C-alpha cells in the first residue's frame, strides 16, 4: 500500500497544465505551468515566467508569478464546451533585477516609499471557456481561453487616493490560453 501512496503523491507533483498569457502585469508575455485540483478541478495553482521588453529603460526584465485561482461553478454548453462565468483569485509577482527592492534602501527617509518595488500583490476576476479534446491519443485533454481583469496593491491604493485616475488607469486586462495535460 505504501508504494501506491508514494506513486500517487509523486503523480500529484507533476503539472497538469501549461499556459501562455498576454499582459496582466506579469510581463508582456508569460509562460508557465500549473496544477488543477479539487473535486471538480475548481482550484488552480500556477507558476509563470514573464518577459517585460525594455521599452524606455536600459534592459528587458523577467518576472516570476505565483497565482492561485478559483472557479466555483461551470455551465456545460455541450459535451465538449464549458463556460466558467466566474474565475477569481490572487497572485504574487516579483520583477527580477538589482534595481528593485523589498525594503526601501537606506538612502530614502523611513516610509518614504510605502510599497516594495520588487513585489506586487494582485487580485483578479474573469471568465473562461474550455474545450474538451475527444481523442484519447492526444497529449492534451482540453484547452481553456480566459481573460482576467486585475489590479495590484499599489494600483488599488492609487485609484482610491487619486480621484483624477480613470478606471482603466488601475484596472488591467490579461488574455490567456491554458492547455490541460491528459492524466493517465
**Count of Cβ atoms closer than 10 Å to residue 7 Cβ:** 10
Q: What is the mean predicted confidence (pLDDT) over 72-98?
A: 96
| H or E stretch covering 64 | strand 61-70
Identify which has the larger pLDDT, 70 or 153: 70
Q: What is the pLDDT of residue 2?
A: 72
Residue 147 has pLDDT above 90, yes or no: yes
CATH number for domain 16-181, candidates 2.40.160, 3.40.50, 3.90.470, 1.10.3470: 2.40.160
Instruction: Say what percent of the chain tops pLDDT 70.
Output: 89
Nearest to 27 by CA among 96, 86, 111, 79: 96
Give yes or no for a contact between 171 and 158, defined as CB atoms under 8 angstroms apart: no
Nearest to 152 by CA among 19, 25, 64: 25
- The Cα 72–Cα 81 span in angstroms is 17
Q: What is the pLDDT of residue 122?
A: 97
Q: How many residues does the chain have?
A: 184
List, for residues 119-129, the tens digit of each pLDDT value: 899 999 999 99
**Neighbour-count burial of 143, counting CB atoms closer than 10 A to its CB (0-12 exposed, 13-18 middle, 19+ buried):** middle
Q: What is the pLDDT of residue 9?
A: 60
List, for residues 4-63, the tens digit of each pLDDT value: 776 666 557 889 999 999 999 999 999 999 999 999 999 999 999 999 999 988 899 999
- The Cα 15–Cα 60 span in angstroms is 28
Q: What is the mean predicted confidence (pLDDT) over 160-175?
A: 90
- Name the 3-class secondary structure at 36: strand
Amino acid at each position: 500500500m505504501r508504494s501506491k501512496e508514494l506513486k500517487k503523491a509523486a503523480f500529484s507533483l507533476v503539472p497538469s497544465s501549461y499556459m501562455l498569457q498576454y499582459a496582466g502585469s506579469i510581463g508582456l508575455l508569460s509562460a508557465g505551468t500549473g496544477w488543477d485540483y479539487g473535486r471538480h478541478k475548481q482550484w488552480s495553482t500556477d507558476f509563470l515566467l514573464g518577459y517585460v521588453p525594455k521599452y524606455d529603460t536600459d534592459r528587458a526584465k523577467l518576472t516570476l508569478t505565483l497565482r492561485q485561482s478559483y472557479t466555483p461553478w461551470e455551465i456545460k454548453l455541450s459535451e465538449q464546451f464549458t463556460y466558467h462565468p466566474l474565475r477569481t483569485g490572487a497572485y504574487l509577482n516579483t520583477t527580477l533585477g538589482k534595481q528593485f527592492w523589498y525594503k526601501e534602501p537606506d538612502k530614502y527617509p523611513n516610509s518614504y516609499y510605502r510599497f516594495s518595488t520588487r513585489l506586487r500583490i494582485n487580485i483578479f476576476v474573469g471568465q473562461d471557456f474550455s474545450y474538451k479534446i475527444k481523442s484519447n491519443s492526444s497529449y492534451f485533454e482540453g484547452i481553456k481561453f480566459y481573460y482576467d481583469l486585475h489590479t495590484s496593491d499599489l494600483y488599488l491604493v492609487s485609484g482610491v487616493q487619486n480621484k483624477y485616475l480613470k478606471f482603466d488607469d488601475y484596472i488591467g486586462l490579461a488574455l490567456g490560453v491554458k492547455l490541460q495535460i491528459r492524466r493517465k
